[in-house]
Amino acid sequence: MNAKRCTTLVLAVLVMAGMMMGCSSVTQGRTGKTEVTPLGAGKAMQVWRGELNDGATEEQVLEHAQNWLAGAKKVKGGENLEMYVKFPVVVNATGEVDLLLILVAPTFKEWGRFWDAYGDSDAADQEVTSQEHIVFPNSTMWESFKVNAAGEAQPADSAAAGATIGKGRTVQWLKCELVGDATRKQVLEQAQKWLAAARTMKGGKNLRLFVNFPVVVNAPRNADLILMLVAPNFEEWGEFKDSYGESAVRDVEKAGEKILVISGSAMWEAFRVEDS
């Protein structure tokens, strides 16, 4: 993803989740009135769909990602970049993708400053090296918001790079379509209500939720938005799903169907990358 190649790749991670990316939040004030961070204040999130070359391993991908991020943080505008790698567990399309690589910047300004300076950087050289194991045929750009359940502290951030494969976070990725004239503000408010209810359930106390709105996509129809639900591990996610059917969160979800509908989903194992 050399800048001259229209950003075909950067090494970095839907999620998951996140997890993952600390994004602008939706909170509830002391008066009980919902307070939504102004739209346009979300984080810049670029997502690459990756394909592994024959013989390449997940460990090699994580190593390349770590080396790339170390170089990227030395580039002007790259000091605050975050990177995530997501490997598929369950997807609902054959040949969907071998992995997702996610690059997150605090603002679109910092993202732009980074890409302006990227072409001659060490990170660009590292990208060329990585092509021995992995290629990225396309990418999309999103504006990402982290949802906070009203009146609750966020769970501790426990996922770190360098974790053994099989020890990543569980990320459920939900493609959604807006209904009628539904607005982003309505989506964020509904997401807050859903997360507050989900946190009261078995397996739900450590859940995180992110709402991602598209900025640039390279397909005629991708999604109006992506919801990204993140659990610390598959056991907690499974416990949450086991208790989901007749729960209060289902009632919140039914009310939300007036705003959006889920058109597809996938499950990922997500690793946060740390620069070496």
Cα 5–Cα 99–Cα 171 angle in degrees, nearest 5? 130
Instruction: Supply the pLDDT for residue 93.
Output: 53
SS3 201: coil
**Average pLDDT score over residue span 239-257:** 84
Where is average pLDDT lowest: 30-39, 71-80, 98-107, 149-158? Answer: 30-39
- Note the pLDDT of residue 39: 47
Residue 219: pLDDT band with limits 50, 70, 90: low
- Domain ranges across the chain: 3-273
Q: Which of 148, 177, 171 is nearest to 267 (CA)?
A: 171
Residue 121: pLDDT band (50, 70, 90) is confident
Tell me 3's DSSP state: G
Q: What is the pLDDT of residue 223?
A: 83
The pLDDT tens digits of the residues spanning 138-183 come to: 889 999 999 987 655 444 443 433 334 457 899 999 999 999 999 9
- In words, the CATH class of domain 3-273 is alpha beta
* pLDDT for 43: 93
Summarize pLDDT for 17-53 with one digit per residue, the tens. 333 333 333 433 333 443 444 445 789 999 998 999 8
Mean pLDDT of 247-259: 85
Cβ neighbour number for residue 70 with a 10 Å cutoff:
16
Which residue is it, tokens 């939900």? 174
Q: What is the pLDDT of residue 33?
A: 43
Average pLDDT over residues 253-257: 86
Map tokens 């961070």 to a residue: 37
Nearest CA to 266 among 17, 10, 62?
Answer: 17
pLDDT: which is higher, 59 or 245: 59
**What pTM does this model have?**
0.76
Q: Are 197 and 248 in contact (CB under 8 A)?
A: yes
Burial class (CB in 10 A: 0-12, 13-18, 19+), 73: middle
